[in-house]
Amino acid sequence: MNLNTDQTVKKLTAMKLHGMASFYEGVLTLSAQDQPDPHELAASMADTEQLFRNDKRAKALFTLAKLRYHATLEQVHCSVERNLTKEILCRLADGSYIKRAENILVSGATGCGKSFLACALGRQACLLGYRVLYLSVNKFIERLTLAKLEGSYIKFLKSLERIDVLILDDFGIQVLDQVQRIAMLQILEDRYKIGPVIITSQLEVAGWYATIGDPTIADGVMDRLTAQAHRVQLKGPSLRKNQS
């Protein structure tokens, strides 16, 4: 590497064009006859920089999401027995449900892969450049209770507005109290036609009314949840038992 090329690499790095700098350094190790022409070099450097930035953003989004499982859509088992086909998964894989703010409601027995599916969809959303947040309902209630005690309740709700895809896992394990059900209604109202919610539950969707508790609020919550939603009811034996 001569002085001029060394300065070029330093300038690219100083401008935070790390993908370009790395590619350019690689090109400089090639013999003169193997190096690309200027137009090809410029195109390849731009492509590498874009890939570098996309990868960096995806890693940041994975960290923000706090997904329970490092799941991918390729790892999700599809079969008629599970009531989950590849066609259903493909319809969700392109992320168009996010643009249309269509919720995904996943129900099924313990161990059937609800959380894994939700996390795989969350990871795919991150790869598409969307902000995702995974919360078990227990963790959601803990954070809500703490926000109330600290006086940051509104701030907490506002922070959820900035999330493109909100995942609430294990809904229905306990009946919500008044604060929790009102917060749930507010969150769904804020997200209605703006950003989707992915909810998993052992209960069938019809049984969610009882979990919410208050009939009036339950009607409001369920209306917003189901108005534009994909329903996936997983069937079959526990995958955990099969793995054991």
In CATH terms, the fold of domain 66-243 is Rossmann fold (3.40.50)
Q: What is the pLDDT of residue 3?
A: 57
pTM: 0.81
Tell which residue, 139, 129, 175, has the closest CA to residue 160: 139
Spatial separation of the C-alpha atoms in residues 106 and 87, rounded to whole Å: 16
Q: What is the pLDDT of residue 143?
A: 93
Q: What is the pLDDT of residue 56?
A: 84
Structural tokens at position 194 = 């703006």
pLDDT per residue, tens digit, the chain (244 aa), is 565 888 888 888 888 888 888 878 888 888 888 888 888 888 888 888 888 787 888 899 999 999 999 999 999 999 998 999 999 999 999 999 999 999 999 999 988 999 999 999 999 999 999 999 999 999 999 999 999 999 999 999 999 999 999 999 999 888 899 999 999 999 999 999 899 999 999 999 999 999 998 899 999 999 999 988 999 999 977 776 555 4
Q: What is the pLDDT of residue 244?
A: 46
Q: Give residue limits of the domains in the chain.
A: 3-64, 66-243
Residues in the chain: 244
Tell which residue, 228, 234, 232, has the closest CA to residue 96: 228
Q: How far is CA 114 from CA 23, 89, 233, 241, in A?
A: 41, 13, 9, 15
Q: What is the pLDDT of residue 51?
A: 82
Residues 6+ apart with CB under 8 A from 57: 129
Encode 46-73: b = buried (16+ Cβ within 10 Å), e = exposed.
eebbeebeeeeeeeebbeebebbbebeb
